[in-house]
Structure 1
Amino acid sequence: MLRGFKDFIMRGNVVDLAVGIVIGAAFTGLVSTFTDAFLHPIINRIGGGGTIAGQVSIGGHQTLNWGAFITAIINFLIVAATLYFLVVLPMNKLAERRRRGQEPPPQAPSEEVKLLTEIRDALVRGGTPEQRRGQDVPVYPSDAPEGVESR
């Protein structure tokens, strides 16, 4: 599985890229909140705590914000792994089944579909056996509602 994940990251497939852009854009807010709420405090703790943890002064008022960079890497890995395991891997398995001719069996028709099929077939055949023999069959039974004539 991890080899497939590595191949996905390294591959330049346009479909995978499109899936990544669409779902990644929708998923980014959730991942950003997760990393800000849970992972960023851990990075601050490792970096010495306080509000400036994860930063290195390079002279003057210039700093390198390595904590934000680590957070961005974690965001990317979470989004990429989620996309791979929830979208790409199942899509690849389905494509492999289709190549081998093992598509999932079609669903059995529901009772309503079976009944509608029988009605259609009866209409195509010309109705009931009495109607096919040319006998006049009443549309309604003899106790038809008042004002409705039987045929």
Structure 2
Amino acid sequence: MLKEFRDFIARGNVMDMAVGIIVGAAFTAIVSSLVADLINPIIGLFTGGVDFTNNYFVLSGEVPADASLTAARDSGASVFAYGSFIMAIINFLIIAWVVFMLVKGVNKVKDSALRKEAEAAPAAAEPAAPPPPSPEALLTEIRDLLAARA
């Protein structure tokens, strides 16, 4: 069983996946900071600083009128936090857009590098196709095949 585990871990796919997960976790921190620290404040300028996070309905329990969502949850009340959901959707769309732009940029760089590589490599001359045989050559071949059969 230990040998099977070692073989499983030593596979290239598992190691690639592990590297991808680690890099993805680090990338998540970068993108989250980009959204929270750079993009959301800019969006706040256009929306007048509106933050939907503290918008909620109290389903049951007692909550002071001006209580934040955190205070409402801490009081034990059952709340329908639609504002947090709206902000999660907005953040998802922003993150998806940033990732899309990054992937698009990486693909553009990759395509550019491939194009340069293709231009730098000398074009391999394809061998010319042999000319088709003449009708006489075909008839001679057919005659020889028939003679060999008889």
Larger helix share, 1 or 2: 2
The normalised TM-score by structure 2 is 0.39
The normalised TM-score by structure 1 is 0.39
